[in-house]
Structure 1
Amino acid sequence: MGWLMRFLAVVASLAVGVKFSPEIFESSSDDQKSSTGTAIFKLAHLLGFATAWGAALWVTFIGIVIMFKNVQRRQFGNLQSKMLPAYFTMLAVCCAISVASFGYLHPWKSSSTKEKYQLGFLLSAFAFNLTNLFVFTPVTIKRMKQRHRLEKEDEIARSKSKEIAKVDSNLAAARKKFGIYHGLSSLANILAFSSLAMHSWYLANKINL
C-alpha cells in the first residue's frame, strides 16, 4: 500500500469517527460548535501523545534491540544514522502538538497544580527530543562515522603492519568520545520517555471506560 493510500485510509477513519461520535449528536445547537472545537483539540492531543508514546516505546525497547542482535555493527550504526533523525523529528512534532493542544485546553492561569505539572512533563519530553535532534544525535553520528573510518584504517594497518600503535590510539579516543555522546543521547531519550509515561498516568485517570 502506497503512502497516498495509507494517508487516505487514516483520513477516512478519522472522518467516520467524527461522524459517529456521540458527543456530536448529544450537543445542542448552541454549544455544538464549542464542543466540536474542544473535541478537535482533545483529538490532536491524544493522537500526538499516543504517536510519541508508541514510537518511543517501540524504538527504545524493541526495535533497536532486534536490530542490534540481527544486524552487523557497522550496518546497525549506518541504519541508526538514518533512522534516529527521523525518529526524533517525529517525536518533537508530536510533542509540540500535544503541548499546544494541552495548553489550549488548560490555560496556565486557570489550570490546577496537577495540570501545570502535566504541561511541564510534556514540555520536558519536547525539550529532550529537541536536544537529541539538534545536539546529541548529530554529534553521535559524526563520532560514529569517525570511528568506522579509523577501524578501517586499523584493519589496513594491521594487514600491512604499519603505524598500528598510532591508529589504535586514535581509535581508542574516538570510541571514548562516541560512547560519551551516545550515552547522553540515550539518557535524553529515556528522560523524554519517562516524561511521557508520567503523562500517560494522568490520561488514564481521566478516561471513563
Structure 2
Amino acid sequence: MPTDAHPSTVVKVLHLVFLSTFWGMQIWVTFISSFVMGNNLPQHTFSFIQSCLFPYYFCIGSACAFINLTIFAMCHPSKLLSHEETMQITVFFICVSIAALNAQWFGQVTSDIMAEMHLIEQSYGLGEDVGLFLNKSLGQLRELDSAYKKLTRKLKIYHSFSSLCNLCCIACNGLSLYYIAAHLSTL
C-alpha cells in the first residue's frame, strides 16, 4: 500500500466483514435458498418471500458495497494509486452503482410486476403449485389473458436485468476477494 500509514487492524477487519457479508449473502440467496425455496414452496409463497427479502438483500448489499468503497478509498489516496488499486476502486464503484440500481429500480419493479401477476393468477385459481417450472396452466393463462401476457414479458425483462445486476455484483466481489487474497502475505 503506497500510503505512509497502514490501515489499522480494525479498519481491515471492517473491510473484510462488509465484503464477506455481501459475498455470503449473494452466494446464499443466488445459488442456494432461491433454488431450495423455488422447488419446495408453492409459487405464490416463494414469490411473496422473495418480494419481502429482496429489498433487504439489495439494500444491505448496496450498503456493504458503499462501505467497502469508502474504506478502500480512504486507505488509498488517489494521488498514490497503483494500477491494481485503481482497478480495485473501479470494481468497488461499479458494484456500488449496480447494487444501488438493483435496490432502487429493478428489484422493486420486478416485485411490483409479480404482485400484479399474482392477482391475475389467483383470479384463475392458479399459483399454488410447488416448483418453479412445473405449472403448464400459467402458459395457458398467457394465451387467454393479454394483460397477463404483457406482464409476463415485462417481468422477464426486469427480472433479467435484476439478475444481471446481481451476477455483476457477484463478479465484482469475487474480484475484490481475489485482490485481497493476492495481497495476503500469510494465511
Structure 1: distance between partners of 2:81 and 2:165:
28
Equivalent residue in structure 1 for 2:99, among 119, 129, 137? 129
Q: Check whether the contact 1:38–1:105 (CA below 8 A) recurs between aligned residues.
A: no
Instruction: Name the residue aligned to 1:195.
Output: 172
* Count of residue correspondences: 169
Instruction: Name the residue aligned to 1:184.
Output: 161
Equivalent residue in structure 1 for 2:41, among 71, 90, 98? 71
Give the % identical residues.
Answer: 28
Write the mapping of 1:7-156 to structure 2, written as runs, cut at 5 A: 38-155=8-125
The structure that has the greater radius of gyration is: 1
Normalised to the residue count of structure 1, the TM-score between the two structures is 0.75
Question: Which residues of structure 2 form unaligned runs of 5+?
Answer: 127-140
Letter in 2 for 1:186: S
Q: Check whether the contact 1:147–1:174 (CA below 8 A) recurs between aligned residues.
A: yes
Structure 2: distance between partners of 1:131 and 1:59:
18
Instruction: Name the residue aligned to 1:17.
Output: none
Q: Check whether the contact 2:98–2:169 (CA below 8 A) recurs between aligned residues.
A: yes
Structure 2: distance between partners of 1:194 and 1:166:
38
Deviation at residue 183 of structure 1 after TM alignment: 0.9
Instruction: Name the residue aligned to 2:183.
Output: 206
Structure 2: distance between partners of 1:107 and 1:170:
53
Deviation at residue 44 of structure 1 after TM alignment: 1.5
The two structures, once aligned, show a CA RMSD in angstroms of 2.1
Deviation at residue 175 of structure 1 after TM alignment: 1.1
Normalised to the residue count of structure 2, the TM-score between the two structures is 0.84
Q: Closer, same or farther in 2 for the Cα pair 1:60/1:98, shift >3 Å?
A: same
Question: Which residues of structure 1 form unaligned runs of 5+?
Answer: 1-33, 157-163
